[in-house]
Amino acid sequence: MAPPTRTASAPRTRVVKHPDVRRDELLDIAFELCRSHGFDTMNVEQVTQAAGVAKGTFYHYFSSKDDMLEQLVSRFGNSLFDHLSTASARAVGTASERLRAVMDAAAAYKLGNSDIAYASFLYTDGNLALRHRLFQAWRERGREVLLPIIGDGAADGSLSVISVEAATDLVLLLWFEAADQLWMRALAATDEDRFVDVLLKGSATIYQAQERILGVADGAYAVPLGPQHNDMARQLYRRLEAQQS
């Protein structure tokens, strides 16, 4: 009897993904590794092994580990401001109420997307130029969100400003330059308790200054700083300390 005929197996279909999808997958994997191992410890080989791709694929999208980290942090900022733009468009009420909705959306986004990991990377020694470059781009995104709201607030009377443009500039200074100086003061703290105290009180002061620039009642934009914020600040201090050791 003739031997049974072997049926040739069908060739495996190679899955080709859109470049943006593949890049985002690699960034997602890199971020999870950064959260578990730290930005400094995470390496290219860990990313490619976790993604199941060759190193050549990695270098097709990123020129280096540092390039990948910069894209990762940049993506976080861009996603944040996309989220704030959506929150502004959906918010109802006076301009002051819409601004409060935007601030609440920002706080929730940072809490839900591991802001600690990004902050620990941005404030690592050697990343000053990167931080300033990203802040410059994010400042313009912030202006796109803030300027229309403050303009509407001047028109509907819910905000009291002499100049819409100047008030927007001042709020952005608080969001970026003042916050940056706050971080630097916190990093100079000699112990964990002092670090947390500087961050939490400084954040409350920035919110208070924003209220006064926009002419709203004290407490209008205050964000309650509870145990969760305290815990996040302590986690950040410990992560920064680990990076220095």
Q: Which tokens in the block code for residue 108? A: 């929730």
Tokens of residue 183, six digits = 């971080």
User: What's the mean pLDDT in 200-206?
Assistant: 92
Report d(CA 237, CA 116) in Å as an integer. 9
Higher pLDDT, 93 or 12: 93
* pLDDT, tens only, 219-234: 898 877 778 888 888 8
- Give the span between the Cα atoms of 88 and 101, in whole angstroms: 7
Query: Is pLDDT of 14 > 50?
Result: no
For residue 155, the model assigns a pLDDT of 97
Report pLDDT for 13: 46
What type of residue sits at position 122?
L
Of 18-27, 47-56, 187-196, 199-208, where does mean pLDDT reach its minimum? 18-27
- Exposure of 218 in the CB half-sphere (CA atoms within 13 A): 2
For residue 117, the model assigns a pLDDT of 66
The arithmetic mean of pLDDT across residues 25-52, rounded, is 85
Q: Select the CATH number that applies to the domain covering 66-244 from these four: 3.30.450, 2.30.30, 1.10.357, 3.10.180.
A: 1.10.357
The overall average pLDDT reported for the chain is 85
Within its chain, how far is the Cα of 95 from the centroid?
24
Distance, CA of 39 to CA of 54 (rounded, Å): 21
pLDDT in tens, 142-166: 999 999 999 999 999 999 999 999 9
pLDDT at residue 47 in the model: 92
The pLDDT value recorded for residue 244 is 66
Q: What is the pTM of this model?
A: 0.79
Quote the pLDDT of residue 114: 61
pLDDT of residue 41: 77
Q: How many CB atoms lie within 10 A of CB 153?
A: 24
- For the stretch 103-148, pLDDT in tens is 989 888 877 766 666 777 777 777 778 888 888 889 999 999 999 9
Binned at pLDDT 50, 70 and 90, residue 16 comes out as low
Q: Are 105 and 87 in contact (CB under 8 A)?
A: yes
Give rounded-to-5 percent helix, strand, coil for the chain.
Answer: 75, 0, 25
Query: Cβ neighbours of residue 52 under 8 Å, at least 6 residues apart?
Result: none
Structural domain 17-62, CATH architecture: Orthogonal Bundle (1.10)
225 alpha carbon, distance to own chain's centre? 19
The full set of domain ranges for the chain reads 17-62, 66-244
Q: What is the DSSP string of 132-147?
A: HHHHHHHHHHHHHHHH
